[in-house]
Amino acid sequence: MGGRPLLALNIAALPPDLPIEISVAIMRGAAEKTRESGAVIAGGHTIQDKEPKVGLAVIGLAHPGRLMTKAAARPGDALILTKPLGTGCITTAAKRDLAPAEHVAEAVVWMMRLNRDAAEAAGEAGAACITDITGFGFLGHATEIAEASGVTLRLSLGQIPLLAGALQAAAEWIFPGGSIANSGTYGPGVRFAAGLAEDRRMLLFDAQTSGGLLVALAPDRVETFGAAMAAREAAWWPVGTVTAREGDTAIIVDP
C-alpha cells in the first residue's frame, strides 16, 4: 500500500519436540528477510503448540496522501502482475512427493522474493491501486479490486505467467484445499471464454504463498513502471485491462 516497514515482532508457536536446528533456521530466515526489507526484529513472543506456526507483526510508516488501495482501479487502466502463479499446486505436489526437485526449487526462489521492488516501482509510477496475490488466489484478489473499485477486470490467460511445473501439477489436479474453496467462492463472478480447460482455470484460483502484486496503472504510466522495474532487475507481466463494470461480472478471462 506504499508503507515502509520499520519494526517486526516474531510471533511463534513451536512444538517442544521440534528439532532445535529447525526452529533456529525458521527464526534466521525471518530475521534475514526482515533485514532485507529494511526493518529490524524488535522482539516477539513464543509459546509451545503441537503444530508449528510462525509469523511477524509489522509496524511501519505510510504517507496518507500516497496510499495504494484496492478501491482505485479505473476503466482503461493496465493490469500488471509481478510474480508467476503456481506455488499452491507445486508445494502441494511436494507434500505428496510428486513434484520434481527443480519445480520446487523455482517455487521457493519466487516465494523468497520480497515485493519491495515492485511496490516501490508502483509508487514511483504513481499507482493508486494495488493488491498482493496470496491465499485467495489470483482471481480472488482480482475480484477484491473489481468489487472495491466498481469495475470489471478483463484478463488474458495467455499473458499470465506460470511457474515451471504448475501446468503439470494442475493437469494431475493437485491443488491445495484453499484453491478449491477459492473457485467456489469467487467463481460465480468470473466469466471464462468458452473452451478454456478446467485445469487452466483452476490455476487462476490457486492459493498462493508469497505471491506477487497485481497493479492497476494508467496506460501512460506503464513505461515509467517498466523502467523502475528494469532498474531493479525485477520481472513484470501485462495481464489485462480494467473496463467499466459489467453487471455482476467481476472478471472476464479471455484466451
Lookup result for grid cell 478471462: 253
The CATH class for the domain spanning 68-254 reads alpha beta
pLDDT of residue 166: 97
d(C-alpha 181, C-alpha 185), whole Å: 6
- Alpha-carbon dihedral sign for residues 168, 170, 173, 178: positive
pLDDT of residue 156: 97
- Which ranges of the chain have pLDDT less than 70? none
The CATH class for the domain spanning 4-61 reads alpha beta
Q: What is the pTM of this model?
A: 0.94
Domain ranges of the chain: 4-61, 68-254
Helix (H) or strand (E) holding 181, with range, is helix 177-186
Q: For residue 230, what is its C-alpha cell?
A: 528494469
pLDDT of residue 133: 98
pLDDT of residue 169: 97
pLDDT of residue 95: 96
d(C-alpha 138, C-alpha 213), whole Å: 10
pLDDT, one tens digit per residue, over 192-243 is: 999 999 999 999 999 999 999 999 999 999 999 999 999 999 999 999 999 9
